[in-house]
Structure 1
Amino acid sequence: MKEALFALNHMCAPYRSISEFFDLAVSLGMKGVEIRNDLEGNAILDGTSPASVRSEAAARGLRILSINALQRFNDWNDTREEEARTLIAYARDCGAEALVLVPVNDGTGTADGERQANLRTALKGLRPLLEDAGIIGLVEPLGFETCSLRLKSEAVEAIASLDAAGTFRLVHDTFHHTLSGEESFHVAETGLVHISGVVDKALSVPDMRDGHRVLVDKHDRLDNVGQISALFTEGFQGLFSFEPFADSVHTSDDLHRDLEESMKHLRANALPPPAQGEKRNGISP
């Protein structure tokens, strides 16, 4: 795997400014970044204009892959619609290609029938807003038992039922894929992959949480190497975005080195990309 296949989510370095975060991505040879709307004291929450973010990225030759994220997207109501309009407008104006859509994760809306209906309602509401702005909606199922959308298969079914594959894609998150227990990868519908590892041997899978998510190394319990290899084998041609939530990553004395080591591990152990010209799916590198 080459660095061009990797991207960086601002959650890797939440205490760095948007400029410092972009510089980190460039220093690692990356071309894609994900910005977030949940980092206090940082863009977007600090009032940084989308034009400024766009300019900073363009000056470094970076693509803004997504804004992460519209939370509780499948609890569609007037408040959610207004949040969506605001984020989609910001995404359009800063040059972001997509908006990540995160489902309700508090134990509500999980009943069979209810969750599918709520998902379709949300997708119907979001579709015209995304299409008008030329933004892709990246649906990210969460594997937690409390989540109202755990399975990628349910998202695929809902998107297909609305004939909306041109508007919505999936995020394959290696952490959430493990927690969900889902075996299918749905590569044809996947637009982006989030990668992180868990190394704590004392944790059971159901007890794994965001705070346990570190950079991927040889001690990884999520089989990132196996997942990435399977994605390649099934024809995925997209970007693998580092998204660790652990404080130990955020406060590292040498995050650049740590990320380089993780990339080195994945390059050495995951299958190589297909031959030049072979078609794959996803957001292209």
Structure 2
Amino acid sequence: MTDTFSHPVFAINHMVAPSLGIRGFFQLAKSLGLSDVEIRNDLEGNAIIDGTPAAEVRSLAAEAGVHIATINALQRFNEWTPEREQQAIELADYAKEAGAAALVLVPVNDGSGRQDGERQENLRTALKALKPILETRGLIGFVEPLGFEICSLRSKREAAEAIETIGGQGRFKLVHDTFHHHLAGEPELFPALTGLVHISGVTDPEVTVSDMRDPHRVLVDADDRLGNVDQIQALLDQGYTGLFSFEPFAAEVQRLENPSAAISASMDTIKAGLI
């Protein structure tokens, strides 16, 4: 068992190198010896937003020998409207045709929809409506609570309870994001319900936890303030066997001339810290 603990299965999110075209991104994964990738629908000038057909994305993934773990993401998923339903259907259709296994579901994060009672009801409504959309296309929905104080879904417990209430076990799983987990301050990990882990570090010594934002998120190194290695170790110890996907948002990471070397070094740092 120790061998499993010391070898987490890594993946990369297109946010590690958003300027790379989809083919280059898949090749980056292969250069790192990785089999799993997350593609995004929010990168200007890149697939999916540039109109690249899903069949072409599927073909390029097959050519590179990578598996599309997720499309990231259906935004504001817990604000269910006719417009959101249409977005969900279109994205789910694309995901299925591209060969993706799951859709990441990101909650409203603008300070609205946070009232107690209202936010739980909104969440249940959205999950109920999403369930048949995902089921008919054979997709999993990855619910990603965000740790920001203004977010309408900060708590993984709340997400887990809503999934259980609507009978969504098996169709929905949680995303454990090491950055958001640290910000939310929620100790429980929910490994059995976790389908994906996003990893990024914060090394800026000046920024307070409540002021941490996406631009602070770098690759995990020895100066990480978020306790990534401890979080990863705890998840592995508690039986999590899924992917650990790099998702840094810092401009200095995204502008790297050699992202492969930097990501490889981060993987080595993480593995060296694990028991």
What range is the shorter-chain TM-score in? over 0.9
Give the counterpart of 1:207 among 211, 217, 220.
211
**Residue identity in the other structure for 2:105:** L
Matched residue, 2:25: 21
SS at the partner of 1:137?
strand
TM-score in terms of structure 2 length: 0.97
> Please, which runs of 5 or more residues in structure 2 have no aligned partner?
1-5
Shift of 1:193: 0.2
Give the counterpart of 2:114 among 89, 106, 110.
110
Shift of 1:253: 2.5
Q: Does 1:191 align with 2:157?
A: no
SS at the partner of 2:136?
helix
**Residue identity in the other structure for 1:174:** T
Q: Does 1:126 align with 2:133?
A: no
Q: Does 1:223 align with 2:227?
A: yes
TM-score in terms of structure 1 length: 0.94
Measure, in 2, the Cα distance between the counterparts of 1:14 and 1:270. Answer: 29
Shift of 1:162: 1.2
When the two chains are superposed, the root-mean-square deviation of aligned CA atoms in Å is 0.8
Measure, in 2, the Cα distance between the counterparts of 1:224 and 1:230. Answer: 10
Matched residue, 1:39: 43
SS at the partner of 1:133?
coil
Measure, in 2, the Cα distance between the counterparts of 1:182 and 1:193. Answer: 15
Shift of 1:60: 1.6
Shift of 1:241: 0.2
Shift of 1:164: 0.9
Q: Does 1:169 align with 2:173?
A: yes
Q: Does 1:178 align with 2:182?
A: yes
Size of the aligned set, in residue pairs, is: 270
Measure, in 2, the Cα distance between the counterparts of 1:95 and 1:21. Answer: 16
Post-superposition CA distance 1:89-119 (Å, at most 9, x none): 0000000000000000000000100000000
Q: Does 1:52 align with 2:56?
A: yes
Shift of 1:252: 1.2
Give the counterpart of 2:82 among 61, 74, 78.
78
